[in-house]
């Protein structure tokens, strides 16, 4: 993600991203100035003040979301927490979510984009007007002790259902224009493939004007405006080496694919001193042979290659891919290189982020961070959040860390429950504001379109900044 972009934006208050780079900061200088002017031109502060004030009608919608959480949906969250299922296998969890929606009059379209645990739900009582999306997840993490909900995705379904149902009831009762669509997106924690990217490419999100989503948090915060992602720009890459089998007593009769993989790891370790310090390269060996007495003729390594921006990430990929080819050449093997997934910067909007933050504070979010954090899209892949405006609502739901057993345990206690209720109320309030204020929707779109242009300018500046050294023949 554009961490120095974050640093420049927040520099006035003395906040620096842990991953800011001087190159990015310099490249972002002019963009940050334009971003600041953009926030004023779309009147982010004015909209936040106006819409963040109490509104009796909106608060009733939020109270309905809270009642649904306390009456039925916290129990669903606890149930999913206690029965974790990893990505693409969330059959039971998805059924709990879709059964509840069906019981409340929603029509379920299963197998969205061809995924067995993905779905789209619409309510026939709201058939006209702009469409607003609620994204829900329910996949667990893979752990050495078993699958577990160490990121509290178990609550994202219930939170989204409460907000979607509360707002839909209001739309029907008041005969107001507008439709809520609930989209179940499985396997957020897994590649391949990046499910939201596939769903987006297959037009599942088409026609939606604004999307909302919740996520666990160690505090109550919001992202700064701009562009970025939670976990750096990522390429998921699989390196498959092919050799020839032989008896280990006569290894010269074969070609050892596992040795090639070991060379790949050594080559990458040698490159680490060449990469900029913000780079992250993480890999495991997923296949390395079947028996010690047989020369492995197939070996596979799976890597996540990360950098704060995709421009320098491309330079890293060239070197790493060449390192794989060199490992194959050195061992007499062959290699195939498969980029099976990628995550890129998404668009982060001041209009929606500041409004959601005002609501979560007003509804009781705890451990509030007063300053904006780094820019990041409302979903991790960047593919949807760079195409459709949205907001990720994050509140204090755990005292543990992300991807920990402590965070899973907190999902079952008051810290989790209270945070989930705040998220549901704030999400319903954002949906209400978006649905009832066309002028606000126009401001959101104006900001979104302008930030996409600024992102292009930023990338152009980085391409000029990341010069390659000139290598002359010896």
The string of pLDDT tens digits covering residues 94-108 is: 999 999 999 999 999
In a domain, 197, yes or no: yes
Lowest-confidence pick of 4-13, 321-330, 380-389: 4-13
Q: In what order do the strands lie in the sheet with 298-307?
A: 280-287, 298-307, 233-242, 334-343
Asked if residues 427 and 360 have their Cβ atoms less than 8 Å apart, the reply is: no
For residue 193, what pLDDT is reported? 73
For residue 15, what pLDDT is reported? 30
C-alpha radius of gyration, the chain, whole number: 24
Report the alpha-carbon distance of residue 21 to residue 7 in Å, rounded: 9
- Where does the pLDDT of residue 6 fall: very low under 50, low under 70, confident under 90, or very high at 90 and above? very low
For the chain, what percent of residues have pLDDT higher than 90? 89
Asked if residue 73 and residue 211 are part of one domain, the reply reads yes
Lowest-confidence pick of 65-79, 367-381, 422-436: 367-381
In a domain, 19, yes or no: no
Lowest-confidence pick of 224-238, 277-291, 309-323, 421-435: 224-238
Question: Please, which residues have CB within 8 angstroms of residue 121's CB and are 6 or more apart in sequence?
Answer: 98, 101, 106, 107, 108, 109, 181, 182, 183, 184
Whether the pLDDT of residue 24 is over 90: the answer is no
**102-131 average pLDDT score:** 97
Q: Which backbone phi and psi does 294 adopt, to 5 degrees?
A: -125, 130
Asked if residue 377 and residue 328 are part of one domain, the reply reads no
In terms of DSSP bridges, do strands 119-122 and 226-228 run parallel, antiparallel, or are they unpaired? unpaired
Asked if residue 221 and residue 81 are part of one domain, the reply reads yes
Asked if residues 431 and 214 have their Cβ atoms less than 8 Å apart, the reply is: no
User: Tens of pLDDT along 337-374?
Assistant: 999 999 999 999 999 999 999 999 999 999 999 999 98
Whether the pLDDT of residue 223 is over 60: the answer is yes
For the chain, what percent of residues have pLDDT higher than 70? 96
In a domain, 166, yes or no: yes
Whether the pLDDT of residue 264 is over 50: the answer is yes
In a domain, 184, yes or no: yes
Report which of 389, 387, 380 is spatially closest to residue 349, judged by C-alpha positions.
389
Question: What rounded mean pLDDT belongs to the chain?
Answer: 93
For residue 26, what pLDDT is reported? 81
Q: Of 343, 370, 387, which residue sits at a domain end?
A: 343
Asked if residue 240 and residue 212 are part of one domain, the reply reads no
Whether the pLDDT of residue 1 is over 50: the answer is no
DSSP string, 191-249: -SS-HHHHHHHTTTTTTEEEEEEEE--SSBB-BPSEEE-TT-EEEEEEEEEE-B--BTT
For residue 127, what pLDDT is reported? 83
Report the alpha-carbon distance of residue 94 to residue 80 in Å, rounded: 9
Q: Of 315, 343, 371, which residue sits at a domain end?
A: 343
In a domain, 112, yes or no: yes
Asked if residue 253 and residue 124 are part of one domain, the reply reads no
For residue 231, what pLDDT is reported? 86
Asked if residue 428 and residue 285 are part of one domain, the reply reads no
In a domain, 194, yes or no: yes
- Find the CATH number of the domain harbouring 393: 3.40.630.10
Lowest-confidence pick of 65-69, 312-316, 378-382: 378-382
Report which of 246, 233, 244, 363 is spatially closest to residue 305, judged by C-alpha positions.
233
- Where does the pLDDT of residue 192 fall: very low under 50, low under 70, confident under 90, or very high at 90 and above? low
Asked if residue 379 and residue 281 are part of one domain, the reply reads no
Q: What residues make up the domain containing 287? A: 233-343
Asked if residues 368 and 220 have their Cβ atoms less than 8 Å apart, the reply is: yes
Q: Of 306, 326, 343, which residue sits at a domain end?
A: 343
Asked if residue 242 and residue 293 are part of one domain, the reply reads yes
In a domain, 108, yes or no: yes
Asked if residues 229 and 344 have their Cβ atoms less than 8 Å apart, the reply is: yes
User: Tens of pLDDT along 133-156?
Assistant: 999 999 999 998 999 999 999 999
Asked if residue 109 and residue 202 are part of one domain, the reply reads yes
Q: In what order do the strands lie in the sheet with 107-110?
A: 107-110, 119-122, 179-184, 131-136, 208-215, 390-394
Determine the longest span between alpha carbons in the chain, in angstroms. Answer: 81
3-state secondary structure at position 102: helix
Report which of 129, 186, 142, 184 is spatially closest to residue 161, judged by C-alpha positions.
184
In a domain, 404, yes or no: yes
Q: How many structural domains are present in the chain?
A: 2
- Where does the pLDDT of residue 64 fall: very low under 50, low under 70, confident under 90, or very high at 90 and above? very high
Report the alpha-carbon distance of residue 280 to residue 33 in Å, rounded: 29
For residue 18, what pLDDT is reported? 30
Asked if residue 213 and residue 182 are part of one domain, the reply reads yes
Asked if residue 187 and residue 73 are part of one domain, the reply reads yes
Whether the pLDDT of residue 7 is over 50: the answer is no
- Find the CATH number of the domain harbouring 327: 3.30.70.360
Asked if residue 114 and residue 54 are part of one domain, the reply reads yes
Report which of 59, 167, 128, 132 is spatially closest to residue 352, judged by C-alpha positions.
132
């Amino acid at each position: 993600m554009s961490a120095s972009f974050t640093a420049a934006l927040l520099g006035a208050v003395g906040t620096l991203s842990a991953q800011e780079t001087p190159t990015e900061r310099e490249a972002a200088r002019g963009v940050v100035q334009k971003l600041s002017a953009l926030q004023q031109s779309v009147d982010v502060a004015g909209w936040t003040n106006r819409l963040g004030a109490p509104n009796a009608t909106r608060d009733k919608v939020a109270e309905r979301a809270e009642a649904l959480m306390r009456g039925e949906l916290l129990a669903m969250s606890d149930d999913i927490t206690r029965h974790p299922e990893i990505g693409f296998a969330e059959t039971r969890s998805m059924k709990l979510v879709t059964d509840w929606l069906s019981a409340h009059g929603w029509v379920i379209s299963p197998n969205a984009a061809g995924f067995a645990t993905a779905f789209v739900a619409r309510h026939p009582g709201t058939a006209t007007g702009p469409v607003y999306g609620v994204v829900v997840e329910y996949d667990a993490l893979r752990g050495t002790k078993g699958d577990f909900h160490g990121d509290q995705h178990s609550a994202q379904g219930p939170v989204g259902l409460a907000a979607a149902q509360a707002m839909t009831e209001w739309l029907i009762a008041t005969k107001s224009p507008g439709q809520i669509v609930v989209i179940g997106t499985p396997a957020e924690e897994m590649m391949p493939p990046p499910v939201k990217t596939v769903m987006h490419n297959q037009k599942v999100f088409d026609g939606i004007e604004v999307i909302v989503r919740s996520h666990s948090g160690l505090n109550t915060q919001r992202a700064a405006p701009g562009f970025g992602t939670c976990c750096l720009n990522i390429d998921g890459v699989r390196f498959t080496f092919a050799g020839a089998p032989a008896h280990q007593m006569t290894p010269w009769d074969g070609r050892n694919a596992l040795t090639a993989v070991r060379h790949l790891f050594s080559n990458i370790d040698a490159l680490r001193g060449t990469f900029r310090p913000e780079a992250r390269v993480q890999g495991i060996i997923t296949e390395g042979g079947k028996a010690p007495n047989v020369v492995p003729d197939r070996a596979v390594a799976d890597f996540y290659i990360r950098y704060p921006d995709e421009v320098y990430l491309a330079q890293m990929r060239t070197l790493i891919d060449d390192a794989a080819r060199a490992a194959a050449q050195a061992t007499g093997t062959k290699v195939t290189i498969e980029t099976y997934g990628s995550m890129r910067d998404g668009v982060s909007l001041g209009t929606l982020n500041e409004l959601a933050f005002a609501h979560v504070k007003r509804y009781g979010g705890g451990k509030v961070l007063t300053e904006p954090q780094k820019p990041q899209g409302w979903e991790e892949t960047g593919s949807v959040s760079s195409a459709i405006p949205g907001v990720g609502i994050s509140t204090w739901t755990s005292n543990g860390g992300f991807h920990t057993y402590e965070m899973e345990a907190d999902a079952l206690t008051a810290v989790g429950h209270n945070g989930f209720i705040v998220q549901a109320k704030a999400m319903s309030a954002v949906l209400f504001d978006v649905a009832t204020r066309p002028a606000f929707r126009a401001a959101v779109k104006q900001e979104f379109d302008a930030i996409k242009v600024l992102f292009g300018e930023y990338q152009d500046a980085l391409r000029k900044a990341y010069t390659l050294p000139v290598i002359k023949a010896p």
